[in-house]
Amino acid sequence: LGQYYRAMHTAYITTPVGVFQAQFTSRGLAGLDLPTGRRVASRKTTDAPLPPVTQRWRREVERALLAVLAGRPPSKALPLDLSVGTPFQQQVWATLAAIPCGQTRTYSQIAAAIGRPTAVRAVGQACGANPIPVFIPCHRVLAAHGGLGGFSAGRKWKRLLLDCERGG
DNA sequence: CCCTAGCGGTGCT
DNA sequence: AGCACCGCTAGGG
Angle A126-A28-A47 from CA coordinates, rounded to 5°:
105
pLDDT tens sequence for chain A (168 residues): 678 877 789 999 999 999 999 999 999 999 999 998 765 555 566 678 999 999 999 999 999 999 999 999 998 999 999 999 999 999 999 999 999 999 999 999 999 999 999 999 999 999 999 999 999 999 999 999 999 999 999 999 999 999 999 875
> What is the DSSP annotation of A102-146?
T--EEHHHHHHHTT-TT-HHHHHHHHHT-SSTTTS-GGGEE-TTS
Asked if strand C contacts A138 at the CB level, meaning under 7 A, the answer is yes
Taking the C1' atom of every nucleotide in all shown strands and the CA of A84, the nearest one is: B10
CA dist A40 → A21, A35, A36, A87 (Å): 11, 6, 7, 34
pTM: 0.94
CA-angle at A74, arms to A28 and A97, nearest 5°: 65
A87 touches strand B (CB under 7 A): yes
pLDDT computed for residue A38 by the predictor: 63
What is the per-residue pLDDT for A130?
98
C1' of C13 to CA of A143 (Å): 22
The pLDDT score that the predictor gives to residue A140 is: 98
Q: What is the pLDDT of residue A39?
A: 54
Neighbours of A38 (CB within 10 A): 8
Distance A160 CA to B8 C1' (A): 30
pLDDT of residue A67: 98
